[in-house]
Each structure stands twice: as C-alpha cells, then as structure tokens.
Structure 1
C-alpha cells in the first residue's frame, strides 16, 4: 500500500485578508459553503394566493449547509456519507461546475469561487476531476486519442503535434492502456478500461489537485482494487492531492489520509483515517463505523438508528442529526453545533462531545 505522509495538525496558521485562520500547508480551503437549489420554478410559478393576497412562495433544497474543510498538500481527504448528503455537490462546486449560494473557496491562497470561466482557466490545468460514471464521462463521438489530446491542445496551444502525441502515449502507458488503442472509441472498452482512460485524461495536463467523485463505485469489485491502486500510484509519482468522494468505508480505510463525514449537507466529523476508525466521536460516525462487517469477536455491536433521514427541503432546527441521535437533548434540538477542533487533531460538530457527555 502506498503511504501518504500526514501533515501535522498543529501546523502554524496564517490569516487571510478576510480574517479567517488558514494553514499555510493547505492547498484548498472551503469556508462556510452553502448551496441551495430552487424547487419553485420561475417568478410567475412562485406566485400564490393566500388569505386573499398574492404572495411569493419559494422552496429550496438545502444541499450544503455551512461546510468548512481544508485539504493539505499531498494528502487524500476522503468525504463520506450516505446518498444525498451533499458530497458530490461539494466536489462540483470546488471544480466550478456549480456556483455556491454563499461561502468561499480558496486555492493556494487565492479565492476562486467568484471567478468567471475565463478567469478560472489557469486553475483548470492545476485542478482536474474524475467522474463517477466512465460510461457517461467520455465523449462517444471522439476516439481515445482525440479525448486525451483535447485538454493538451486547450492548455498548451503552443505544443507541436508530435509533442502532444508523445504526451498522450506517456499517459496511456502510465495507466496501463495500450497506446495502439487510441484509434478506438469509448464504447469498445470495458468499464475499468474506460475509467483508466478518464484517469489518463485527468493526468494529461500534469495537475496537482484531483477531485475523484466516486471513481470506482460503477465498476465491478474485481476491477475496483486495480483502479484504486492506480490512483495511489499516480499520487506517489506525481505528488497529487486528492479530494476523494466515496460511500465505501473500506476504500476510505485503504486510501484516505484524513476523513470528513457528512450528514444532510453538514460536516459531522473530520479526523485522520486511523483515528476515525479506532475511536469515532460523533454519534453518526459511530453508527457508520459499527455497520462495517468485521470478523473480530469483540467488535462493537451494530448501532441501529431510529427514524428516517430528514428532507433537505425542510431542514430540522438545531443539529440536523438530533431526530435520530440517542444522545440528543434540548440544546441539540435548538442550537446548531459548530465544528470544534480537539487536541488530538480531530474536529467534531456535536454538543454531546463538547459538553463531555460522549
């Protein structure tokens, strides 16, 4: 297994012009990010008659609610959580595919969330994305050679045709794809081969940061380990930093340097991988960890959560997890917990942990 060095959590912090504390080793910083999607249609569709008056009615899906994360150079930060918790939305906002409703994103100290497509172009070379579905992320009308040449011609218009082709051969070889297959189209490849091509496309422009949005979930189990090892080898060779979105805790344990656990658009806990798996603090994280199949006789009993996940349209007051948490009290129902840093380098958003009840 490739070993990824952890950056000490006690690194000296600096302060941005906006006054927020930031680590000088952080490559990407997300601060109080929110994203809402309207369900109400256009202006005329929002008008309703209520009590004899014409009022405007608006409904939103609250996909992300105040997410703050930092990703340090050279690490793999895994974001986990059940479907609909906002993991992929965070990834798409980081890459500029969606605009945030509020909050800030800083890359290498520079704010990027408010930049236009033209202003973002220099960052596109440094930041690349691997999508979940390799069947949809490759253009069916383009050969593999054309697919891999396209980002090179965009970011290196001064390169000669021979240099572009040499680079394509290099990245295809690095991901285990025969360069002679470049004349084929995407539909002629298996799922694992397509995802290797998608990884080659991301590596073609020599990025330093890659967002991987569940890159192995659409693949057969026998192929998942191959692609995961390929990503780890690429990290070691190219000194990459990953934001890795997944719901598979076995992948997290094998791949991640640190883990951020999300629930209903909020971050519950952030911790180094070994610490999180050894001693999870947040009640939701404890429930997730208890669901991992283990062979040990002394493993903790499975924690069964009562109730259903609330709808992101009408968020509950206070802690979003309080309706399912066995330790919730009146403060949990009323007050939204903050993500508080602890002495062991973890961060937990839980009143029970803050008060010493858990």
Structure 2
C-alpha cells in the first residue's frame, strides 16, 4: 500500500459471524443434569484489514469457505458486519443506510458469480440496463437513457439491437457481459467482481477477463476481484490478498507473490497451479486436520496443517508483518526466521 496516498476503499478489523443457534428453545441443551444454553456461530471473517488504491485490481484468493465472498458482500452492504469499519473515499459507510448510502450505491457496483441467477428472467435486457440508470440518474431523458444503454452494450460486445430479448435467450458468456454492462451503466468508479468467470466455459473466460481489463483502462475503474484461480490473478491482479479461514495470511503485489511466496499456505497454493512445463517444483501436500469456521482453532488458524508450526503458533494469533520482499505475512515462522 502506498504510504502517502489514502486508499479508495479501506477495511479495518472487519468481522462477520453467522448465528447457527436457531431460536431460544433450539439453543437449549441438557448437560450434566441441568439445562444450558448453547450458541454456535460461523466465523466467516475474522479481523480482516485491507486497503484498495484507486485504479488498482486487488485480488482476494483462497479455497472455498475462506470468507472471500463474504468480504465482497459485506463491502457492498449486502451483509452487515458484526464489527469493524468500512471506509470509502475517506468516509465511513458501514453505518449508513437509506438515502445516506445512495451516493455510494452508484459509485460502487458488483458483478456476481452466476450470470444465470443474477439477471431477472422477467425483464428484457433493455429493462435490466434501464432500471439502474433511471434510479440513480432520474434527470436523464428517454433519448439519453437509450443512448447510454446502447453505449454500454456496445462496449461489452453485445448487439444493442438485442435489447428486447430476455436473459434465457443468451449464452453464459453473453449473460455475464450483460451483467457487466449493468454494472457499468451508472458509471461507477469501484467494482466488486465476485468470481465473475468461474461459471463460464474456459474458452469464454479469457474474453470476459479481457473485457474487464479494457473497461478498467478506458473508465479508470478500481476492482476488488474475488477468485480461486491463481492463473487469473497472475494475469489480472495488481496486488493479492491470500485468505484462510476468514483471515488474511499474506498480502503482496502480484509479481512478488508469484516469485517468492512466504506463507506456508500461499506456497502450497502456488505449488498446486497446473503448469505445462516441468519446472522441477513438487506439489506441496498438506496434512493434518482441516479446521472449520464454526470451530476455529486457537492461535494461527493454519497451524493444524502447517509443517512449521510450533507451540507459539498454537497459542498466539499472528499479525501481518512486512517482510524484506515488501509483502505482508501473518506467520510466526517467517517472523522468527524459521521459514
């Protein structure tokens, strides 16, 4: 993160828990001869702090269930954080609602993972794109709205003459292009892309990814890009945050991360990337017990699978510490020079 430049989006100690306990009666348990109340939570995000600079693409990666999509939805206000702060343009927005949040709704848009579910099947493409424009820019005339819709459809490679069609008449790649057009229709400056290409055929993924990169260059967009595909990160990302069980274990610029990953979990992820050439590097196979966000381990959340874990790792939670390479790593082994 640039020291002298404030980030466009800043997340501070963000936490999100989901209550699995049910109603009061469902929480009651009979133990050791008496009735006790048992509450159970999914600890989806645990003290995440990130900053996204204007014009960059910060990629958040990790295995399924690590909390990356929850971060995206919490940033967009689709989920209410349990604790922590979200700042946009220097203003705190996580406590805003109603009319106070409307200016940020226009500046911040989201592209969802599944283009088959994110488009309303009862609305034509024209209506889908027209709705956000008329909501956020009610002063625009019918001609201006029509011209705007034609401009964004053309920019994403969709024929404007197809505006009268419904979502089911398009392929998955075309639907995702329409979803991107919907996000661009109100001229945002920040876009959260939650696994936007994972539901598409491999042959279409590169096209959509290039479309997002072209939009970033032509419109000056800033991305928070959620993905599990590290090959996409290498091609698209400016910086990378690696998450495990709701925590950020490594934060680095893309080139540094791929050249010299520091955290044991990041090293294991990198070794799993399929490569055509035989580089001689072996696939790191993690052993040990896989913890869940319902029953988080003490200390470092990765210590149960880490070959470098010691007693300190089992009892003390590591914080992000800047390394010589410029990356930030939450690892006692790295801090102590054991790795």
**What CA deviation, in whole Å up to 9, does each residue of 1:38-86 have, x standing for no partner?**
1111223222333443322100011111111111110000000000000
Structure 2 unaligned segments of length 5 or more: list them.
none
CA distance in 2 between partners of 1:93 and 1:71 (Å): 15
Shift of 1:309: 2.3
**What CA deviation, in whole Å up to 9, does each residue of 1:191-229 have, x standing for no partner?**
000000000000000000000000000000000000000
Paired residue for 1:123? 104
User: After alignment, is 338-347 or 256-265 more displaced?
Assistant: 338-347
Aligned residues: 339
Paired residue for 1:309? 290
1:49 pairs, out of 23, 30, 33, with 30
Shift of 1:343: 4.2
Task: With the length of structure 1 as denominator, give the TM-score of the two structures.
Answer: 0.92
SS in 1 for 2:130: helix
Paired residue for 1:21? none
Shift of 1:308: 4.1
SS in 1 for 2:8: strand
Paired residue for 2:195? 214
Q: Conserved in 2, the CA contact under 8 Å of 1:144 and 1:185?
A: yes
Task: With the length of structure 2 as denominator, give the TM-score of the two structures.
Answer: 0.98
Paired residue for 1:3? none
Q: Would you say 1:38 and 2:19 are equivalent positions?
A: yes
SS in 1 for 2:200: coil
Paired residue for 2:166? 185
Paired residue for 2:181? 200
2:80 pairs, out of 99, 107, 110, with 99
Paired residue for 1:87? 68
Shift of 1:316: 0.5
CA distance in 1 between partners of 2:115 and 2:28 (Å): 42
Shift of 1:344: 3.3
Q: Conserved in 2, the CA contact under 8 Å of 1:10 and 1:345?
A: no
Q: CA RMSD in A?
A: 1.1
**What CA deviation, in whole Å up to 9, does each residue of 1:132-169 have, x standing for no partner?**
00000000000000000000010011111111111000
CA distance in 2 between partners of 1:77 and 1:157 (Å): 32
Paired residue for 1:4? none
Shift of 1:356: 1.0
